[in-house]
Amino acid sequence: MSTGTTEITPMLQSFLSSPRKILIDGKWGNTLSEHTFPTFNPATGDVLCQVPDGQKEDIDRAVKAARHAFEQGPWRTLTPSERGKRLWRLADLMEQRTEEFAQLESLDNGKPVTVARGADVPLAIDLFRYMAGWATKIEGNTIPISVPYAPGAQFHAYTLREPIGVVGQIIPWNFPLLMATWKLGPALAAGCTIVLKPAEETPLSALLLGELACEAGFPDGVLNIVTGFGETAGAALAAHPDVDKIAFTGSTEVGRSIVHAAAGNLKKVTLELGGKSPMLVLPDADLASAIPGVFNATFFNTGQCCGTGTRLYVESRIFDHVLAGLADQAKQIKLGSGMEPTTDMGPLISENQHQRVLGYMESGLKEGAQAIVGGHRYGDTGYFVEPTVLVNTAQHMKVVQEEIFGPVLCAEPFIDLEEALEKANNSMYGLTAAVWTKDVSQAHRIASRLRAGLVWINCHNIVLDAALPFGGYKQSGWGREMGHEAIDLYTEVKAVCAQL
């Protein structure tokens, strides 16, 4: 099979032509109902293959396997060094399959294969290697204590950092492999066991990753993968009474339902949710880097990033110049199948998202915004939309307040920096923000005023490094992914106090 001009590797052809299974307790099998659902190529709408439609009872079997592996399996007794080695081995195995992973991401998600090869896959590999290093560095403290009612007594008090237990992980479709690794890496390094539910739209790379995890030597039941839908498999995982923590990435709305579902057994929850990230361009900015920077911030991954820069505030004297630069670049962008090596921007993920993004464009235009470029569907097959820049937007508009998750930028000029900062922070979200200026002191002052979990200065989308903690203020989430912060969130602290 060939799609565009990238030839699908024989290994991947055989992966796609055999029916996919779910992974429970180290074995690949069917769901109890044996029902399946199709996953599509969003560039064409064609079915790629069928995957199992996991239900509550399959989640239950997977949680039981994870519980058994946590309490009684060999995972508990492996040294931290052995855990780290398996993570490193998994990274090595992935590296050997870089091309398969890149093509699978492109076919299932629509993103350019060149981007998957250059970013998604190497970043995922790096994440596992970074977390492999942490496995041997999860430490407690010794604590000198003072006990007023035990004069003369001596104590030895210390803390242990222990794995949190059985973890449910629910991930979205925008970076299918990378989102799986952000979740799996720290959980495995910490010694947890896992039930992973990939997104219904993009289940394939997680299944290939599961095959390599078996090969890398993770004991049975440590990693279980159940494909299925959010309302069934996802909801069952979030509500399961024997799951100790749920880690979720996706929409803020579903994040709220996860919190409700988790309340039953008060499981720990971390959430990586939506964003509506602002970007500020000051008059002294180096426009030769700011214009392509803003452009990339908005249109990378077809705007389907939680950290996508979607609100642009440019000092009024340079507004027209910056906007003309953005429009110029947008006109040159090449849309097409991700498997075409020359494609710059792929389709949106699904018919649903296509309708949703087109609906937002229409609502913006109806409310008085003007598209200086784009504003329409592109082509008549697949889920493409034109890269779009809207001006004459105002704070009350839906396009300015709500997460669009598509290639749509709302740009406004500003005169007063205070007013621009106020607008930048005027959002229920607080995931990322960016500022372009040559004034270093000013840049750091602005960084401290922006209410966001990650602020970029003179750059954007430098987010995906495994060492940099990522997560949101306000309704963009709870907790952080990556960095040592992620390890902390997969461990419990146990205090031990001994009288000597």
- 179's tokens: 């989102």
Residue 430 and residue 473: Cα distance in Å, rounded?
A: 5
Least distance to Mg ion, CB of residue 389, Å: 28
**CA R_g for the chain:** 24
The single residue listed with the structure tokens 């439609």 is 53
Q: Least distance (Å) from ligand NAP to the CB of residue 353?
A: 6
Smaller CB separation from ligand NAP, 306 or 389: 306
Question: Which residue lies nearer to ligand NAP by CB, 221 or 471?
Answer: 471
Cβ atoms of residues 48 and 39 within 8 Å: yes
| Binding-site member from 58, 100, 108, 412 for Mg ion (CB under 5 A) | 108
Residue nearest to ligand NAP (CB): 230
Give me the least distance between CB of 201 and Mg ion, in Å please: 5
Of these, 40, 75, 134, 313, which contacts Mg ion (CB under 5 A)?
40
The option from Mg ion, ligand NAP, none interacting with 282 (CB < 5 to 8 A, set by class) reads: none
Question: Residue 405: which of Mg ion, ligand NAP, none does it interact with, CB under 5 to 8 A by kind?
Answer: ligand NAP
Amino acid at 218: F
* Cα-based torsion angle of the residue sequence 464, 465, 469, 470 in order, rounded to the nearest 10 degrees: 0
Six token digits for residue 362: 């229409």
Judged by beta carbon distances under 5 to 8 A according to partner kind, the member of ligand NAP, Mg ion, none in contact with residue 478 is none
Neighbouring CB atoms inside 10 A of 147's CB total 12
Name the one range near Mg ion by CB under 5 A: 6-14, 40-48, 211-219, 267-275: 40-48
* Nearer to Mg ion (CB atom), residue 130 or residue 405: 405
Instruction: Spell out the residues 6+ positions from residue 411 whose beta carbon is closer than 8 angstroms to its own.
Output: 312, 313, 314, 319, 322, 323, 326, 389, 390, 391, 393
Contacted by 108, from Mg ion, ligand NAP, none: CB < 5 to 8 Å by type = Mg ion
**Least distance from C-beta 90 to ligand NAP, angstroms?**
22
Length of the chain measured in residues: 500
> CB-wise, 159 or 257, nearer to ligand NAP?
257
Question: In the beta sheet, which residues pair with residue 2?
Answer: 7
Shortest spacing between CB 311 and ligand NAP, in angstroms: 15
Using DSSP's 3-state secondary structure scheme, residue 71 falls into helix
DSSP 150: S
Catalytic positions:
272, 306
Backbone angles phi, psi at 496, to 5 degrees: -120, 130
Identify residues 195-224 at the interface with Mg ion (CB under 5 A): 201
Distances (CA, A) of 257 to 266, 306, 392: 14, 19, 35
Q: What is the dihedral of CA 447, 452, 453, 458, to 10 degrees?
A: -40
Q: Give the sign of the dihedral formed by CA 190, CA 194, CA 199, CA 202.
A: positive
Q: Could you say which of Mg ion, ligand NAP, none residue 39 binds, taking C-beta under 5 to 8 angstroms by partner kind?
A: Mg ion
Neighbours of 328 (CB within 10 A): 12
Of 10-18, 35-43, 96-104, 142-150, the window that binds Mg ion (rule: CB under 5 A) is 35-43
389 in helix, strand or coil? strand
Give me the least distance between CB of 377 and ligand NAP, in Å please: 17
In the bound state with Mg ion, the residue whose beta carbon lies nearer, of 176 and 471, is: 176
Q: Which residue has the tokens 């990693």?
A: 223
* Among residues 39, 106, 193, 298, the one that binds Mg ion under rule CB under 5 A: 39
Q: Which residues contribute to the site for ligand NAP (CB under 6 A)? A: 170-174, 197, 199-200, 229-231, 234-235, 238, 249-251, 254, 257-258, 272-274, 306, 403, 405
Number of residues that bind Mg ion (CB under 5 A): 4
- Look at residue 372 and give its three-state secondary structure: strand
343 binds, among ligand NAP, Mg ion, none (CB under 5 to 8 A by kind): none
Give the DSSP letter of residue 7: E
Which helix (H) or strand (E) segment is 351 a member of?
helix 351-366
Give the one entry of Mg ion, ligand NAP, none that residue 219 binds, where binding means its C-beta sits below a cut-off of 5 to 8 angstroms depending on kind. none
Nearer Cβ to Mg ion, position 40 or 360?
A: 40
Site string for Mg ion, 323-362 (x = CB under 5 A): ----------------------------------------
Q: Which of Mg ion, ligand NAP, none does 231 bind, CB closer than 5 to 8 A by kind?
A: ligand NAP
Nearest distance, CB of residue 86 and ligand NAP, angstroms: 26
Q: Decide whether 335 or 348 has the Cβ nearer to Mg ion.
A: 348
Nearer to Mg ion, 193 or 350 (CB): 350
Alpha-carbon distance 259 to 255, whole Å? 6
State which amino acid sits at residue 123: L
Contacts to Mg ion by CB under 5 A: 39-40, 108, 201
